[in-house]
Amino acid sequence: MINTWVSRITSGLPQYGLWAASGSSYITEICAGSGADWLLVDQEHVPNDVRSVLSQLQTLAAYPDVEVVVRPPAGDAVYIKQLLDIGVQNLIIPMVDTPEQAAHVVAATRYPPRGIRGVGSALARASRWNRVPDYLATADDGLSVTVQVESVEGLANLSQIASVDGVDAVFIGPADLAASLGRLGQPEHADVVNRIEGALAEIVAQGKPAGVNAFNRQIAERYLAAGATFVLVGADVALVARGAEAVVSQYKGAQ
C-alpha cells in the first residue's frame, strides 16, 4: 500500500483543492479534470452516502494525479471502517476537540493490535476482495488521517492534538471556528483570520502539515504564508451556484 498524499503535503509545494459536495460522480469528474491537486469528497454536510462515495472513487481512479480525501460525517469508527473498506486511503475527520478524540480516530483506522478497525478484507474493495495478498499487513501504512480542528476548545488543545501518533495533518475549519469564536457566518472576520494564522503556525511548529479552506484568494495567500500546505479554494456546488447566478443576472440586469 502506497500513500502519496502525505508526501505531497510535506513536499513544500502548495496543494490546491476543490470541495466535491454535489454527491455526483459526473460533477466530481469535471472537477478532477480542472487541474486541482486534490479533491475533498464530503459526507458531513452533503447527501453523500457510502454508495455515492464509492461511485466517485471508481470515477476518480482514472485521474491518478488528483489526490482524493474523504470527510465522513463524524469520527465514528463504523463510518470510518466502511470508508476504508471501499478503498478510501485519506480521511479528514471533522470536529476534533481533544487529543483523546484524535487518538480514537487513529485507532479506528488501524487493525488490532494497533487499533480497533474491524477485519472484513475478504468483502472489501480496498483489498480487491483478498486479491492483495498482504493487505492486512500493509493497510495501516497506506492510510492517512487528518483531523479537523474548528472550535475554541480545539484551538486550546491544538499542540496536543497535532502531536498524537498517527495524526498525519491538521485542517482548520474556518466556518465552525468563526461560530465558536462568536462570529457566526463571518469566517473572514479579522479576529478569525488572525486566530487561524496562529493555529497554522502552531501546527507547523509541531512538525505536521497544516490545511485550511479559503475561497478568498487574498486570505488563502495569507494562510499559505502562515504555513498551510493544502488549501481548499472552491466548492463544486458554490461554483455552479455563483456561475448560474452570474449568467442569469446578465440577462435580467439588461431588461
Residue 91 sits at the vertex; the CA angle it makes with 193 and 195, to the nearest 5 degrees, is: 15
Locate 12 and state its grid cell.
513544500
3-class state of residue 43 by DSSP: coil
Marked catalytic residue, from 13, 26, 33, 45: 45
Residue 231's CB is within 10 A of a number of other CB atoms, namely 23
Taking the C-alpha atoms of residue 116 and residue 40, their distance in angstroms, rounded to an integer, is 25
Q: Tell me whether residue 189 is one of the annotated catalytic residues.
A: no
174 vs 121, 140, 148, 186, CA distance in Å? 37, 30, 10, 9
Find the farthest-apart pair of alpha carbons in the chain and give their distance in angstroms, rounded: 69
Sign (positive or negative) of CA dihedral 94, 95, 99, 101: negative
Taking the C-alpha atoms of residue 231 and residue 167, their distance in angstroms, rounded to an integer, is 18
Q: List, in order, residues 6 or more apart from 64 with CB less than 8 Å away.
A: none
* Amino acid at position 142, single letter: G
Residue environment code for 232-244, b if the CB has 16+ CB neighbours within 10 A, otherwise e: bbbbbbebeeeee
Active-site annotation, residues: 45
